[in-house]
Amino acid sequence: MNKKDFLPISREDMQKRGWEELDFLYIVGDAYVDHPSFGHAIISRVLEKHGYKVGISALPDWRSTDDFIRMGRPKLGVLVSAGNIDSMVNHYTVNKKKRHDDSYAPENRAGMRPDRATIVYCNRIKEAFGNIPILIGGVEASLRRFAHYDYWDDKIRRSILLDSRASILMYGMGEKQIVAIADKLRDGIPINEITDVAGTCYIASDYDTDNSVLLPSFEECIDSKKLYADSCRIQYYEQNPYIGKVLVQKHGDKYLIQNPPMQPLETDELDEVYALPYMKNYHPVYEKDGGIPAIQEVKFSLAANRGCFGSCNFCALAFHQGRIVTSRSDESLVTEATEMVKDKDFKGYIHDVGGPTANFRGPACKKQLKMGACKDKQCLFPEPCKNMEISHKTYLNLLRKLRAIKGVKKVFIRSGIRFDYLINDNDDTFFYELCKHHISGQLKVAPEHISDNVLKYMGKPQNSVFNRFSEKFYKINEKIGKKQYLVPYLMSSHPGSTLHDAVKLAVYLKEHNINPQQVQDFYPTPGTISTCMFYTGLDPFTMKKVYVPKTPKEKHMQRALLQFRNPENYKLVYEALQKTGRTDLIGYQNRCLIKPPKGNILNEQRRNKNGSAFKGKGSFGKDKIGIKNRGRKAKGKGNMSGACSNHSR
């Protein structure tokens, strides 16, 4: 079949291609969107390129086997992914309440995939086909590959490979893994003998004691929070595709074995992946339901890079995509943008050019190309490594090329700028062009907090770095004659954050006239160092105790302090200020967060003492107000294992 088309979703589609059977059936918990920001699209197209016949069963009804058997038993195996987001994150808020929508489903309809979708889908596959190779991947599988703390059950769960009873697990970005496994299955190698593919996990009865590292067992992680923290630290240290070791974790009488990560794709390999014949849209079957909302965010955006050496502790990227940044070539991105212009719905605006971090275009230093990221050091925290190469020249050249394409009116950067990297670039050319050409009134940045005590547990730079950045941002905008604003992402209740820290943040917001409309409560998602802190109360790198706000009352107070201006939060803010002994912030002076409660006689001296007008003037400027601080739900972009362009929060 020569005509560019969607992959089969039915027997009729198979017949049009002249197929009698599939090589692989792909079960996915998202709607079928044939765009490279969706994991199932990349993996299925990669397999297609290598000569394999792939059918897609998207959002199957898991209550029966009907949707699983619709295209018949596949010849080689079944692929399973819960989708671009962990199904539990997709379904529940941080308060464990059901979400009312799902942008990866038709009509934004929630509830079209089950909780713990990977496990449920695997059970149905076994019911439908019996003994057949099952290959699991995606964010849900990737980040739950070891014994892990599960926020929704509030306990340590086994590796998802054991709970799903799948044959093999692919973690990270899965293009190389899937082809290697497919080729072996095609050549007749039994699935239980495929144990040498990098970036995979499998179950065995024994292991090579001489060439692997034994983690604390599943049972030991249940019994000891200290051992669980040890396990998380070792996992983090060994996520190195060049020198990482095989990791082994005992579960009962079986061993989970993780091979070292697959090496990241080179630039030419990335270019090939993004040049595959994607339809760049959702399947027409969803047209009657108004389409799939998630496509709107990415249809006119360019995925320019992968990986992130920022290594924020609350982000799962280090455990998933890795800390080595690789990028597509300018030619590949310009070609995609030129094709984008031809789309009838394109209005002249490229919405984004970036990835996990927009202004990272390559490894932090040359050493990473041979040895990977340093095991026990971070590139930007607590301050930039002296070996890091800080430059925006290649990114700037790319943006200039994109701006020059006929039909392109504006190229925006929306996936976020790492401000602590930018502020340390001695060449201001990019900063000026960023403000002049690539911002639509506001720039999203992620200071997350302003208390240095909290920032150190987040793995973020001190607040003074953000202040330097924001001051420079406004000075540049003043010079070029523009009124543009920073939109700060802020997080409450992260491990290490006390109520005093939350009050400190509220005071900062007051002084700098920042009025966040939405804020993010820390969400303990699988696979992050911060989640380990949340569960154990220990920093796994130092093994020192960490304060963790866990009670609903304190979490609500910390969040309310970020929006102290909201009348609905008054009682919580008042109680928090009383509890922390900061009643000096209750009054009529400009420096105060709230007024005294009605009917309460407060010391009137506080009202008029020494000229009450405390005019906040700092890094945001006297009259600059942060425009809406949008709430975030992690949307994993990428391949079968997702790319989580946004942080798992």
Longest dimension (CA), the chain: 87
Sheet of strand 24-28, all strands in order from the earlier edge strand to the far edge: 54-58, 24-28, 77-81, 134-137, 168-170, 200-204, 254-258, 246-251, 212-214
**Would you say residue 285 lies in a domain?**
no
DSSP 147-192: SEEETTTTEEE--HHHHHT-SEEE-SS-HHHHHHHHHHHHTT--GG
pLDDT band for 600, please (50, 70, 90 cuts). low
| Pair 455, 388 in one domain | no
pLDDT of amino acid 555 = 97
| Pair 395, 527 in one domain | no
Last residue of a domain, one of 402, 435, 468: 435
| Pair 363, 447 in one domain | no
Average pLDDT of the residues of the chain:
92
pLDDT of amino acid 517 = 75
Nearest C-alpha neighbor of 452 from the set 491, 497, 516, 490: 497
Q: What is the pLDDT of residues 462-501, one digit of tens each?
A: 999 999 999 999 999 999 999 999 989 999 999 999 999 9
pLDDT band for 542, please (50, 70, 90 cuts). very high
Q: What is the pLDDT of residues 82-120, one digit of tens each?
A: 999 999 999 999 999 999 999 999 999 999 999 999 999
Separation between Cα atoms, residue 449 and residue 467, nearest integer Å: 12
Q: What is the pLDDT of residues 219-253, one digit of tens each?
A: 999 999 999 999 999 999 999 999 999 999 999 99
What's the total number of domains in the chain?
Answer: 3
Q: In whole angstroms, what separates CA 450 from the centre of its chain?
A: 22
pLDDT of amino acid 2 = 54
Q: What is the pLDDT of residues 63-85, one digit of tens each?
A: 999 999 999 999 999 999 999 99
| Pair 554, 577 in one domain | yes
**Would you say residue 219 lies in a domain?**
yes
| Pair 418, 448 in one domain | no
Under 8 Å CB-to-CB from 568, ≥6 apart: which residues?
none
| Pair 203, 324 in one domain | no
**Would you say residue 357 lies in a domain?**
yes
| Pair 409, 448 in one domain | no
pLDDT of amino acid 375 = 87
- Is pLDDT at 428 greater than 90 in this prediction? yes
* Domain enclosing residue 603, as ranges: 441-622
Mean pLDDT for the stretch of residues 397-403 = 98
pLDDT of amino acid 618 = 38
pLDDT of amino acid 626 = 42
- Is pLDDT at 619 greater than 80 in this prediction? no
- Is pLDDT at 627 greater than 60 in this prediction? no
| Pair 132, 182 in one domain | yes
